[in-house]
Every structure is written in structure tokens, then in C-alpha cells.
Structure 1
């Protein structure tokens, strides 16, 4: 074990270089801060069309890492007495409604802990500008229902964060994007960060890509609409800025700039478990942070997808380590997995056992078979030769949402069929993949089933997202 994770950064540099040379991913930028030292490594291209190089200061879309920033903004307003975590959302947004009953019982803490049950994972209204969140939340009354009662389960919630952003607007009187820049980026010293594509284009900025038989294909959609801003559509910045944000949460709320962003008490609350599903692939959750267990330690974590790109932010309490990265192709997550485990095992000397140790046999798979659905997504599950076969079908609510989501995904969305083998109690892994790969971020590829009663599961969870059994 090294006293400092950066004393031998050649291994990290070689890992990044070798990955870009062999994977087909156009470019990545990786940053590590540890015990007072910081290193940022950039490799490859920001854009295969222009051939512009990836640089240490290159900007990129934070994606859903923005959810941590939205949560931080909420906590700043909690400290100022404008928001109460235990208060109902309707107190701040009297017109807040959903298409099914349940909105009146959702509290602010449910938004930050992804336990709100709002069924809006793929709800993507194509709205931009300062009024976008008001329009998006108003549209939920007609298009968005609930999956479960607030506080019942964890289901990763884009819709919950959109509502949280609208609450921030209501209590501050400022548009979310302005609030993010003035109340977080500026005091945190995140000088490379903005919420405007027009501003980002004035400096080095990476563009997402998708795998292509000819190599790599640039995205035709740089960012999702502003209506997804608090969930992760618009924030753009550098690895250095993400490291600064992560360091703020490790240093009891004091940013590297010296500005106190949050109180130590608020930081501790965000890092304290508010809910746990007790399932290996669904991390316990605090307020915003996913609290991922790795052996005997807990890692503060959040990842974020953008059109053709993926970002990660990891902070390790007690070890003064922050890891942030971006790749302009989703396959870069494989590299980030390896870097994270290497930092924990090789640099910090932490024992990280494999999460899944082997397959098991399940005599009766019929409790899991059936059709499950969430917002615009249907999953049909059947038993085949001792395994489960899932067919996931995108069912867009309207042509606008079809257009936005298919552009986000890089093209048409066919029915995806995959086989899963049992590896634990109500837990399944994608067939054909090595089990040791599920120890890191890829644990999100596991699938679990919940609320087993009357001889059948009533919920399925994949990627931290719930789908509910359709009753016929």
C-alpha cells in the first residue's frame, strides 16, 4: 500500500492509455485527489469529427452526478430555514399533482433519497428555458403516476429530482440553472462549470459517442432538455471541478476555495443511511449520495449518463480520496470500475471481497415470471432452462418523448432480450458475464425481485429502478 494513491501514477496512466487504445472509446479524462495531491489524466479525443484532443481541463456533461448538486442546494436551503426535509412537497408547490393518488404524501426527504415512488424515469418533456421546470412538473399531473407509496422502496428517481429543482425555484424565486451557478458553482470554486451549451462551446468540451461498426459515431444530441436540469441534463464542467465538489463533502462542507458550502451537520446527514433495501446491487442511500459498501468501508458515489457519455464521482470518507472521471462513450464505465477497485485495493490497501461468489439453483422460477412496467418501459419475464429471459420494450408516451429518448440512446430502441441466472435470494446476474465484475459499479447490472407474495413477485429492480408487475 502506498501512503499516497498518486505516488505511482504511472500505473493509472497506463491503464487509461491501454483502455483507449483497445476499447474503441474515443476519449476519457480521469482525476484523482488523495491526501493533498491531485492528478488529472486525459487521453484520446473529445470529438471524432473534429479530432480535438481530450485535455485535463476539458469540460463535459456531469449527467446524473448533478443530482448530488441538487441535493446540496436543497440542504443549503434547509440550513437557511426555507425548506424542511420532513415537510410535504405540496407545502412548497401547492399545485403539485400526479396522475395517480400519492403526491400529497411525498416529503422533501423522499425526493433526495429516491424513495418517492414517482414513476417518471423516462419522462422527458422537450422544454427549455427558465420556465422549463414549471412546465415539466405541471405535466406530471397528466403523464406521471406512482410506483409505490413514499418511503416503501428505493427506485432511482429522475422525476423526484426534477420536482426538487422546482421546489428550489419556488423557495428562492430564482431559476434552477441560475441557482446552480450562483449558489454552488461560484462558492465551491468550480470555475470551469456552467449550465449553458453556448458557454461551454467557447472552451474545450467533450461530445458523446456511440459504438459503431466503423469505430465510433458522434451523438446528434449534445444534451437533454432543460426540463431535466436538476436530474442531470445541463451542468457542464471539468474533472477538476468534480474533484473540488467531492472534496467539499469530505471536508465537512468546506470547499477547497475556503468557502463553507454546507455545515458539518448537513454533510453528515447526507452521508447517513436513510433507507436500505438489503439487496447487494441496490446501495443504501443517504440524502443524494449512494452509499456503496466495499468490504468494511462505505464509498460515497454517483454516476451520470449523458447522450453518448458517462461520468462518475466517488469520495472515500476517512481516506481523503476523491475519484472523478468522464468517458465520451458509455463503455468507459468498465475502465472506471477497474480504476475504482485498484484505488481501493492497491492504493488504500482495503480488502474488497467479490460481491457475488457463485450461481445457485432455483427449483421454481415462476414467482418471477410475468410482465412488469414503469413509465414507458415494459419488461416481459419468462423462465427458460433454469434461467430468466427478459425482454425490455420501450413504449413512448408520445412522439416528442420518443424523439428525445431515442436521440439520447443513440438511435432506434429495439426490444432488448437478455438471460439472467440466479446468484442469490431473489437475485439474478446477466448470463455469460464473469461474476467478479459485479463487485464494482457493474453490480447495477444485477436484477432483483421484491414483495414476494401470493406465489409471485410484485416488483422487479434493475439499475436501481423499480418496475411493477402488471395484474391481469
Structure 2
């Protein structure tokens, strides 16, 4: 079902506005009780300027931000929901938040853990007796914690659409029987959307409710997140930020970007606002109680979610590892960053907290260009240095000499499964270039073979190729390079096998196998 059809059935018009608690473009500041006419603060003024500059530079029609800092709250909207039917964005405008949804899945599981209905270190088969992936050992041994910490080990980019029915998630999990195992459970971090869908299915089985109903009952409604929902028919009357592509440097409305399979709800289906996302941060930085005083989680469970990281690596930034659905990110000064964010076509968002500094930041955007602004605010040190006094681990691009880059050269391959269930291949070729690595990434459609020489490929139209580059800043860790060979701040790394040889390239959290034959 196309996005336009889905929205039409729901009666939602992208960009339609509803009355909000704060006027469009207004800010709320000062312990959550703020009002219009607040005294400007140079840091918030600088943040406004940074966002507005990025919106102009990267063709972002609309954005919303939420900040918790020094006991103050700041919520503000910028620009418009829709370039064709412009309505101002405010703090209650809803966007797709993408993978920040995973933290709602994890928090719901933790509520079940506290009830004694789920154990994090129990095998998945305790709750889903028929659970199966291609590897028998992984099927039997993988644990709930490994699902939530992205170390389940099987192919994670599975985007199959099983329709709008209440059985969509169950059917998705059954279909995972063909997913190949890349590493044993618990050994290697690799971003795994499919694993979070399994966690969502556990929620369904344990509660006897659909995933969406369970999350709403256990988390969303008790926290009063009135602008946080899973389906388009539940946001009728809200201001909705429409998704936009960027074409020739300009934002172009593309309603088809909005639609998302229900089977992927636990990994990225949430729709929310900056105000609600800031309330989410307050809850996770708080004592586990809802605004009305009801206890949802203990402090210990909140701390448990952001402690004891599994295997580390990179996911755009360098990670200590994953907690319970939270990315746990080191800093040069010591305090840990707790982070997530999401990517869906035309809807780029960021979310981070520095618990020891009482700082949280969320950004929602309605354009493919939002990636660049998110990277500037969340990946680099712009916001962290100013508001929390912390920075990334140092990384200075180096030029390797002699044969030092040789072990990293070669072809790397990965796979993903599209919404129709077809397997697509992704091929990366890396070669030495002036002491760094340069190469290409090619996405092959289902009918385009990836293991043949380029001149033998039969379906060139199905392949899409882009350039890439990497510069080492310490052994096995690299900074990504732009088209001009300059570091852009995002990080990748190489993973070695038991024999000490380079086995994988991990880029954006995905593993590409090094083909040496």
C-alpha cells in the first residue's frame, strides 16, 4: 500500500495543523513552566541560529528542537510542515522519529522485566518456542538482552511488509527463518532491525496485546505523551511534518516517503513531537515515575538500560556498546552519552542525553537534508561542547605509509531484504589512495548479480553506485571522507576474525564481509 493511500484512508493531510499548547515557532523555557516572552539566553540563541543556518544550507523545510539544560526546557519549531501547503512547525508538530522507537520497545520490555514476566538473559525461545533463524545454535541460544543490544548476530536489515493486519509482526518473525548468521550471538555489535522486531513480538505474546497497544498502555499513555502514536489514523487533527526529498538543492514534497510497514513498528514506527520527545528524556533522566507520580520503572531499571554495554564498535559515532536499546557513547572527558535517533525517508531525527550533566537534546526534521544538520549537532561536538562540556574521543585523520593500508583493501559485501522480501546485495570496493582508502558502494537490485565483474553485470539499471572514502585515526578505526577527501566526522571501523585478519567493515553499524578469495 502506498503512502498516499495509507494517509488518504486515515484521513490525514500531511502538513495540516491543529491548535497546539504553544504558538507556532514559540519556545518554552524554564523548568517546564515557561511562557512566551522568556529572557533570551545566548546558548539558545546560538542553537536557533545553527538550526536556521542548517535548514537553509541543507534544504530542510521544517524542524523542531527540544532541550533540557540546567533545569531549563526549551521547545521550538522552525519553518513549515510542507513546502506545497506551508503551515508553521511548532513543538507539537509530529514527525516520524524512526529508530528512537527502539528505546520505547526496550522500555516496554523493562516494564515486563520488573513485573517478572520477562528475563533479559533468558533465551528468546522461552517466550517464542518456535523462533528460528537459519542457524540452529543462534535460534536456540540468543537472549532477549542480545536482541535489545544489537548482538544477536544474524542479518539485520530485513524490511519485509506483511500488511496492516494484527498478525503483521508474527508473520515477519516467522519469515526470519531464512536469515543467515553473521556472527555467534553476543560476540559482535551490528545494528539489527530484525532483532528489535523479535523483541516486539515477545511483548505481544507476553501481554496478549498487539505491540502498539502494549507500548501505549505500558509507556506512552502513563507518561502523557499525547502526540506520540504509531499509526496515521491516530494523528488526525495533529500538525504533521510531511517528508521531503532534496532535488537539485531544493526540498520537494514526497508523500510516498511517509508510509511504513506495520511489521517494522518495534524498530521504527513511532510518530512523535519535540515536546513529547523531551518528556521522554525527562523520564529517562528521572526516578522512573510518571508525571502523576505513578511508578513505571525503578531507578535501577533506568540505570540498567544505560549500563553494562555489550560489544562495542561504531554506529556513525564510536560506541562503548549498546545497553538496553540505548547507544552508549564515550567522551574525552569521561561522562557517557546515551544516544539514539532515527532515519526514515524524509524524516531525520536525533536524540541524546548526558545523564551526569542533566542535558538532553532532541531534533526532528522533515527532509533528507536533515542528515547533515543532525550530524553537525549530534555527531560532532557543536551541541555537546556548548551545553554539556564534553566532546568526542579525539580523532585526527592520518596518512598511512607503505603496506599499512593493504590488509584493509578489497571487496566487502552485505545483503538486505526489501519490503517485498527480495534479497538485495550491497558491494563495497576499497583501494589504497595516498595513504587512505577510497572506493565505491554499489546497491544491486534483486535481479542484478553482485559477484560478477562489472562488465558482466546484466542489469546495470538496477545498480546504484556512490563514492566513499576513509582515513584512519587509530588502528582499525576510520573517519569517513567526503567527495573531496576531507573527514566529515562520522566514524567506521574494521572487525577482525579469530585469526587476526580483517573479516568485516562496519559502516553505519552494518557489517560488510571482506572477500579475500
- TM-score of the aligned structures, taking structure 1 as reference length: 0.88
Do residues 429 (structure 1) and 468 (structure 2) align?
no
**Which residue number in structure 1 is paired with residue 78 of structure 2?**
43
**Which residue number in structure 1 is paired with residue 336 of structure 2?**
298
Alignment of structure 1 residues 211-360 onto 2, 5 Å: 211-213=246-248, 215-219=250-254, 220-232=256-268, 234-277=269-312, 281-295=318-332, 296-340=334-378, 341-348=381-388, 350-352=389-391, 355-360=394-399
- List per-residue Cα deviations over 1:132-166 (Å, max 9, x = no partner): 10010011113x12110001110011011000000
Secondary structure of 1:30's partner?
strand
Secondary structure of 1:297's partner?
coil
**Which residue number in structure 2 is paired with residue 393 of structure 1?**
442
Secondary structure of 2:140's partner?
helix
Q: Distance in 2 between matches of 1:104 and 1:417?
A: 40
Q: Distance in 1 between matches of 2:68 and 2:221?
A: 21
Q: Residue 58 of structure 2 contacts residue 373 of structure 2 at CA under 8 Å; is this kept in 1?
A: no
Secondary structure of 1:253's partner?
coil
Q: Distance in 1 between matches of 2:475 and 2:188?
A: 18
Q: Residue 69 of structure 2 contacts residue 387 of structure 2 at CA under 8 Å; is this kept in 1?
A: no
- List per-residue Cα deviations over 1:377-399 (Å, max 9, x = no partner): 43332323333233323345589
Alignment of structure 1 residues 66-465 onto 2, 5 Å: 66-101=101-136, 102-142=138-178, 144-213=179-248, 215-219=250-254, 220-232=256-268, 234-277=269-312, 281-295=318-332, 296-340=334-378, 341-348=381-388, 350-352=389-391, 355-364=394-403, 365-376=405-416, 377-385=425-433, 386-396=435-445, 414-431=464-481, 432=484, 434-435=486-487, 437-438=488-489, 443=490, 446-451=491-496, 456-465=501-510
Secondary structure of 1:183's partner?
helix
**Which residue number in structure 2 is paired with residue 16 of structure 1?**
51
- 5+ residue gaps in structure 2? 1-29, 32-38, 417-424, 449-460
- 5+ residue gaps in structure 1? 400-410
Q: Residue 335 of structure 2 contacts residue 356 of structure 2 at CA under 8 Å; is this kept in 1?
A: no
Q: Residue 99 of structure 2 contacts residue 267 of structure 2 at CA under 8 Å; is this kept in 1?
A: yes
Secondary structure of 1:423's partner?
strand
Superposed displacement of residue 416, structure 1: 2.2
Q: Residue 379 of structure 1 contacts residue 390 of structure 1 at CA under 8 Å; is this kept in 2?
A: no
**Which residue number in structure 1 is paired with residue 35 of structure 2?**
none
After superposition, the Cα gap between the structure-2 partners of 1:466 and 1:298, relative to the gap in structure 1 and judged at 3 Å, is same
Q: Residue 61 of structure 1 contacts residue 306 of structure 1 at CA under 8 Å; is this kept in 2?
A: yes
Q: Distance in 2 between matches of 1:283 and 1:209?
A: 34
Superposed displacement of residue 289, structure 1: 0.7
Q: Residue 410 of structure 2 contacts residue 431 of structure 2 at CA under 8 Å; is this kept in 1?
A: no
Q: Residue 445 of structure 2 contacts residue 463 of structure 2 at CA under 8 Å; is this kept in 1?
A: no
Which piece of structure 1 moves more, 298-307 or 422-431? 422-431
Q: Distance in 2 between matches of 1:210 and 1:97?
A: 38
Which piece of structure 1 moves more, 269-278 or 457-466? 269-278
Q: Distance in 2 between matches of 1:343 and 1:419?
A: 26
- List per-residue Cα deviations over 1:292-340 (Å, max 9, x = no partner): 1222211110010122111111111122222111011233243334445
**Which residue number in structure 1 is paired with residue 456 of structure 2?**
none
Q: CA RMSD in A?
A: 2.6
Q: Distance in 2 between matches of 1:60 and 1:216?
A: 16
Q: Distance in 1 between matches of 2:93 and 2:500?
A: 53
Q: Distance in 1 between matches of 2:209 and 2:49?
A: 45
- TM-score of the aligned structures, taking structure 2 as reference length: 0.81
Give the paired residue count: 449
